[in-house]
Each structure stands twice: as C-alpha cells, then as structure tokens.
Amino acid sequence: MALITLRQALDAAREGGYGVGAFNVTDLVQAEAVLDAARATKSPVIVQTIVGASAHRSDEFFWKALRNGIDDYPDVPVVLHLDHGPSYEDCVRAIEAGFTSVMIDGSLAADRMTHSTFEENVAITKKTTDYAHARGVSVEGELGTIGGSEDGGAHKEIVLADPDEAAAFVEATDVDALAVAIGTSHGAYKFTSPPDGSVLHMDLIVEIASRVPDTHLVMHGSSSLPADLRAVINAHGGTLPESWGVPEAEKARSTKLGVRKINQGMDSHMAFAAAVRSYLAEDGINVDPALYEKRGRAAMQAIVAERMEVFGQAGQAWRHELVTAN
C-alpha cells in the first residue's frame, strides 16, 4: 500500500461512507505520531504540511525526509499532501519531491491577503491540475476563503463559498477535491462562543455536494480546540485565549453530508505542546529535546487516533489493499 493519491483515498471513503483526516505536521516527530496512529487504528491517512512550515533549513530537506519516512509504513495507505500551496511553482516543487497530492490555494492573490477573482482562481488551479494530473498527482482547490491563519501569520477574512460558482469551478478546473468555506477558521482562535447554524453553514455542504457529485469536499479549519489542552498549556506559561472550535459531532456529521477530507492542525499541535510544557515543568534540569519530544509525540499520536475513530477511517485501510491489487 504505502503512498496513494488523494483521489484514491477519497474515492474509497465515499464508497465506505467515512471521512479521512488530514493532519498537519511540521517535523518528523509529528509525522511519526500521525503514521503510528494510522497503523494502530488500521486507517488510511493524509499527512500534510505547508510551504515553509518546518524548522528545517529548506522545504526540500524536510520533504525528502518525510517521503523517506513514509517508506517505513508499507502497511499504511498514506497520501502525502501539500496544504495551502501558495503558488503553482510551490505545487510543482512538491510534486517533484514525491507528493501524491497538492492543494493550490487560488482563492488568494500573491500577497496571501487579497482575494482573487473567480477567473484568477480558475486560471491558476487549472494550470496546476493540468501539470499534476499528467504526473498522476491529485489536486485540491479552494472556493471562498477559509478564515484565520494556517501558518501563524495575519488573519484572513472568511468569504463563504457560492454553490453556483462551485459547479462552474469544478467543470473549469477538473480538481479532485474542493475546499469550501462554510464558516470555519484556521488557527488557535476561532469562535467566541460554541458555533451554531449561524456560524457553521452545514447547509452549504449539502448544496455544493449535490452540484459536484464527482468531486470530494474538504473541511478546513476544523480543529475543536479542546478546553482541557488549553488549560494545561496556560497553566504552564501559555496565553491561549478562550475559544471554541468545531465540535467533534459536527465533524462526524459532515462526513454524512458530503465532506470526505477533514483538515486538523491545531488540535494535535495543542496536544503536543501541552505534553511538552508539562514535561519541562516536571524536569527542570533536562536540556535534551528527545525526552520532551517523546512525550509530545505520544500525546499527538493519542489525539490523532481519537480523531480517526470520529471520522470513521479507523479500520478502513483494507480498502486500499484492493486498490493495490487491482
């Protein structure tokens, strides 16, 4: 099994009626946590990272190590995905590095703050899709704008997806998956109160899914921001504000409405950070990163495994044995 495309992963998920978590990683320790969780739960998984998101000296250095690390998990169906590719050139770099899926975020202009026109979004997405599909790589596009900040930078305004534009966008670009803005937001601060129907527009998922039945929908900014993890982080020097994320029940419900890929970043990072901060408070003389990173890795693996159960992907790795055999 090992590496598969996003199209293969999400086609199988649609057939089985479940969602597949896409977990952001910024180093090999986090990647191992995600892959170990997938192995333990017998899940297909999407391992994803963002351009410039690691502490390594270059994307290429990190990406090569990430690609090689996945080879140690031949029993796990893995999509290696570039999240929020800011440019066509970045997507090409990822494809050349061995990624099996890329997201071209054409919803924003080059400054990453100004909203692109529909025509501009179509043009860069189609260019990326043509290049990727010719090389057997899947492509995810974005319609509307997911709010917040995926990389810790400036926060972007939410612009909800338009169902009429969704059908035209898919027809013009031939994307395999489509991230639709339904009110979710990136980052550690999302909502000032528990989100309801006035904030999370789940009805948009249903309407857009009916317009683009052969394209898989993606929910970005869907971390739940667990209050217990925030409390641990803040008890050990953190200053995270009180905030509500997307409830687990809503994420599970979204998989029954048409969402197949569910992006998770902050939850696993919060679990990692809470474990590291707790360890450092307990051991005031340790200066070896390996000791606290092991604690963080275990905490991240545990929460990722929990999310795999919620999304329904746990126990579904067998479906890709059939894909490989065929």
Look at phi and psi of residue 5 and say left if phi exceeds 0, alpha if psi is from -120 to 50, else beta: beta
Is 83 a known active-site residue? yes
Which DSSP category does 224 fall into?
A: -
Q: How far apart are CA 322 and CA 326, in angstroms?
A: 6
Give the DSSP H or E segment for 46.
Answer: strand 45-50
**Nearest C-alpha neighbor of 98 from the set 132, 129, 67:** 67
Residue 37, phi then psi, degrees to nearest 5: -65, -40
- Give the orientation angle of helix 88-96 with respect to helix 118-133, to 10 degrees: 20
**Nearest C-alpha neighbor of 244 from the set 196, 195, 202, 199:** 195
Q: How far apart are CA 234 and CA 265, in angstroms?
A: 19
From the list 11, 36, 59, 83, the catalytic residue is 83
Which residue intervals of the chain are DSSP H helices? Answer: 6-16, 28-41, 59-70, 88-96, 118-133, 163-173, 202-211, 227-235, 248-257, 266-282, 289-311, 319-325
Q: How far apart are CA 188 and CA 134, in angstroms?
A: 37
- Residues identified as active-site: 83
